[in-house]
Chains A and B, each alone.
Chain A
Amino acid sequence: MVKRSEKAKTMRKLIKAIWIFNWFNSCGFAELVPLVGSRWDMERFGMIIVGTPRHADVLFIAGYQTHKSIERAKRIYEQMAEPKVIIALGSCTMTGGMYWDSYNTIKKLDDYLPVTMYIPGCPPRPEAVFEACEKIFGHVKELE
């Protein structure tokens, strides 16, 4: 029998349906809000949006971040309770994206926060977001 760590055990017990706290920047607003609507209904998968980070499991960072907004994002991440996961949307979080030569944006989100999963695209389609959430469930099951 493989011994699973304590952290893996708690994560498997607690993550059955994801509660999301949306911290989206502008590009995320145009592509994540339709997910709540009736066409790409995300409540059938168990995902709902909560209004405070203390109730949330997943933090969605969608779009580019600037120096001013990354500090607020860090504070929000610290207020979330374990277990927690970060999903980063868009190509601006991976390499800087279209604004790579701007003096005010963050180029690699990995330098500031521990990211679990990246979703590429500019902006990514709703089907890609659902596939990413499915992979989160799979990842939690296989955790050591």
Chain B
Amino acid sequence: MIEELETISQDSEYDLYFGPAHPGSGNFGVKLKVDGEIVTSARADPGYLHRGFEKLMEYRTPIQNAVLSDRLCVLEPLNWNLIHAEAVDELMGIEIPDRAKYIRVIMAELSRIQSHIIWYGVFSKGTGFDTGFKMAFGYRDFILDLFELITGGRVYPAGYICPGGVRRDFPKNTKDKILKVLDKMNKMIKLWEMENPALNARAKDIGVLKINDAIRLGATGPVLRGSGMKTDVRKEEPYEIYDKLDFEVPFREEGDAYARYWIGIEEMKQSIKIVKQALNDLPNGEFIESSCKKPKLNVKIPEGEVYVRNEVSRGEAAIYMVSDGNTKPYRVKVRGPDFLHMIPVLEFLLKGVQIADVPAVYWSLNICPADMDR
């Protein structure tokens, strides 16, 4: 005869910490309250990487800040280099030569492709598809070799996009090498487009974000495009030469994790198209404005304030810079897309999902903890 065990309490809620030392969570922790298998509430735990970037930039001149700005988000350094250089250019009133604009766009789009490859890799790992992870990091190395050829560093380009243009010109035969790498990227995307039934089951109808909630919570970029809004800063406020290029903005209506993942792959195709067009039309000429060629110390920034917006791989980024006439900026405010995606959007989406679906929702938002903490 088996006796029934007595129940000690009716409450079955407990705390689960999906923390920073978990190999599937990056440098960011989420405190979950779980009832059985369903998550009832989530609270984000940021701050493991906080360095105080905005005040560090007040102690350095713009040339020194150009080197510091690649470390704002480790996974896409050239895009943040570009937005900082644009802010200083507008504040100081510098006109950039055309060849420099084309080179800047080529480097930024290559960096976007590389960042989406990382997104695909960690999303596959989170949903259990380990082959995708190894393949993604294997293919990413082709682009890192290109960066090493042009800028000198695999991961950090040491301020290659600086106020006034770019630091040095393309070496010989760069155009052929870039085209070869883009062919390899096309092959890789064809492999990834084959439908994977396990991924469909784990990502469809999970983590649905409707459009009204998305705008209220501050989502931008692929997360907002996945919920049905066709928006892109490169089309609404074109900067550099984006108004002369021909590309599309992919978007979907459903708002689930599969829609966001599909948008990432389509954006890679559009980036390849942009790089090919820019390489075709690359004009000859100077690569940096002549007064910035030999950097002078103690150049005063004129008084004023600017607000610059760009589209980095994760969403909308913005810099607000104030100067009061000295050699160093007075206040720099950095607005990153991940600050909004990782705290309000994540806490909203994790309510009511099962524990096994938490990685799929988490990695489909394409997070970068360094960008959130600054």
A and B pair up: yes
Task: Tell me the B33-50 residues at the A interface (CB within 8 Å).
Answer: 47-50
A53 CB contacts on chain B under 8 angstroms: 21
A37 at the interface (CB under 8 A from B): yes
Proximity bits, A5-25, B CB within 8 Å = 1, else 0: 000000000000000001111
Which chain A residue shows the least CB distance to B137? A37
Cα distance A36–B52 in the bound complex, in angstroms = 31
Q: A51-B23, A125-B154 are in contact. Are A36 and B51 (CB under 8 A)?
A: no
Contact A26 B52 (CB under 8 A): no
Closest Cβ of chain B: how far from A71's Cβ, in Å?
10
A51 CB contacts on chain B under 8 angstroms: 23
Contact B74 A101 (CB under 8 A): no
Q: A27-B71, A34-B137 are in contact. Are A102 and B52 (CB under 8 A)?
A: yes
Contact A49 B23 (CB under 8 A): yes
Which chain A residue shows the least CB distance to B76? A30
Q: A36-B137, A72-B20, A98-B71 are in contact. Are A29 and B156 (CB under 8 A)?
A: no
Q: A68-B47, A76-B21 are in contact. Are A37 and B74 (CB under 8 A)?
A: no
Cα distance A115–B138 in the bound complex, in angstroms = 31
Q: A34-B137, A49-B23, A76-B21 are in contact. Are A26 and B49 (CB under 8 A)?
A: yes
**Count of chain A residues with Cβ under 8 Å from any Cβ of B?**
34
Q: A29-B74, A30-B155, A37-B137 are in contact. Are A103 and B52 (CB under 8 A)?
A: yes
Contact partner, A122, options B51, B75, B156, Cβ 8 Å: B156
Task: Tell me the B1-55 residues at the A interface (CB within 8 Å).
Answer: 19-21, 23, 26-27, 47-52
B337 at the interface (CB under 8 A from A): no
Contact A29 B23 (CB under 8 A): no
Central interface residue in A26, A31, A53, A102, by most chain B CB within 10 Å: A26
Q: A26-B74, A30-B75, A104-B51 are in contact. Are A69 and B138 (CB under 8 A)?
A: no
B329 at the interface (CB under 8 A from A): no
Closest Cβ of chain B: how far from A123's Cβ, in Å?
6
B71 CB contacts on chain A under 8 angstroms: 27, 98
Cα distance A105–B50 in the bound complex, in angstroms = 8
B68 at the interface (CB under 8 A from A): yes
Contact B52 A104 (CB under 8 A): yes
Which chain A residue shows the least CB distance to B52? A102
Give the interface of B toward A (CB within 8 A): 19-21, 23, 26-27, 47-52, 56, 59, 68, 71, 74-75, 134-135, 137-138, 140-141, 144, 154-156, 369-370
Q: List 21 A-B contacts (CB under 8 A).
A: A22-B23, A25-B48, A25-B49, A26-B27, A26-B370, A29-B75, A30-B75, A34-B140, A34-B144, A37-B137, A37-B140, A38-B138, A39-B141, A53-B21, A66-B48, A68-B48, A68-B50, A72-B21, A72-B48, A102-B56, A104-B50
Give the interface of A toward B (CB within 8 A): 22-27, 29-31, 33-34, 36-39, 49, 51, 53, 64, 66, 68-69, 72, 76, 98-99, 101-105, 122-123, 125
Apart from the given pairs A29-B74, A69-B27, A99-B51, 7 other A-B contacts in the complex at a CB distance below 8 Å:
A26-B369, A29-B27, A38-B137, A64-B51, A66-B47, A98-B71, A122-B156
